Chain A
Amino acid sequence: MKYDFVSNRITLIARVSGELDMLSADNFRQEIDLAMEKNCSNNLILNLEGVNFIDSSGLGVILGRYKKVSLRGGRMAIVGAPVQVKRILELSGVLGISKAYDNETEALQAM
């Protein structure tokens, strides 16, 4: 897993790449939570462009971040999910609660 974080005012953009499964889940959760805390972020944009695999363990972390962000009154958006990743997000209902955008600029505008 690789992470690249960009902070834009109260929004954290997390560019994630690699495989989101039970092997990477704990690290994924910790990295995002830590970066949000460090940047005092309220909103989270998850850029999944570089994610080539996701299963229910990875989804669990995304849903967990959604819950955490919403609980604090923030918003979460998903950007750039490849087709196979997007299908899983759709099937799980994650896209029903967290909106998907084509790019970071669009997502930032919606925050």
Chain B
Amino acid sequence: MKIKNQIKLSFMSLPENLPLARVTIAAFASQLDFTLEDLDEIKVAVSEAVSNCIIHGYENDPNRTVSVVGTIQEDILEIIVEDDGKGIADIAKAIQPAYSTCPERMGLGFTFMHSFMDKVDVESAVNKGTRVTMSKRPQDHAASAAEEN
């Protein structure tokens, strides 16, 4: 598939960079035919993925690097959020709703990513890092493509 556009963000693992990451990706996503509701959902998905890097991947160490890559391929938005932190030992367990390693948290991060994006893929290696790849296609395009088939 041909890449139409791509942006790469690399930032320190500071919570202050979280709004910047989700707003930037939402602005980038708006190049496709997403509704405002879609863009809000994309913001939540990015927020969850980046929060996971900071809280879990780096255990709140602010001096590490979070990388976010947004790609538009045909009419599909792909977002890759990556850290080189401690990794996830058991992915199946981590993505379960309401599972959290921290009692003050809801454990809904992956649930929201799955609810708001069409596809979510998690790759992780202990002490190497975690990469979350998410994609979403504007609804109207998906509907008109289905009609064509």
Partner of B48, one of A56, A84, A91: A56
Partner of A57, one of B16, B37, B105, B115: B105
State whether B51 touches A55 (Cβ < 8 A). Answer: yes
State whether B105 touches A23 (Cβ < 8 A). Answer: no
Question: A61: shortest Cβ distance to chain B, in Å?
Answer: 8
Mask, A74-111, CB within 8 Å of B = 1, is 00000000011000100110000000000000000000
Question: A62: shortest Cβ distance to chain B, in Å?
Answer: 9
Q: Which of A22, A55, A64 has the most CB of B within 10 A?
A: A55
State whether A55 touches B48 (Cβ < 8 A). Answer: yes
Any B CB within 8 A of the CB of A53: yes
Alpha-carbon distance between A9 and B112 when the two chains are bound, in angstroms: 37
Cβ contacts under 8 Å, A83 to chain B:
37
Any B CB within 8 A of the CB of A21: yes
State whether A57 touches B51 (Cβ < 8 A). Answer: yes
Alpha-carbon distance between A5 and B99 when the two chains are bound, in angstroms: 33
Cβ contacts under 8 Å, B104 to chain A:
60, 64
Interface residues of A (CB under 8 A from B): 19, 21-23, 53-57, 59-60, 63-64, 83-84, 88, 91-92
Q: Can you give 11 contacting A-B residue pairs, CB < 8 Å?
A: A21-B18, A22-B55, A23-B15, A53-B22, A53-B40, A55-B47, A56-B112, A57-B105, A59-B106, A84-B40, A92-B106
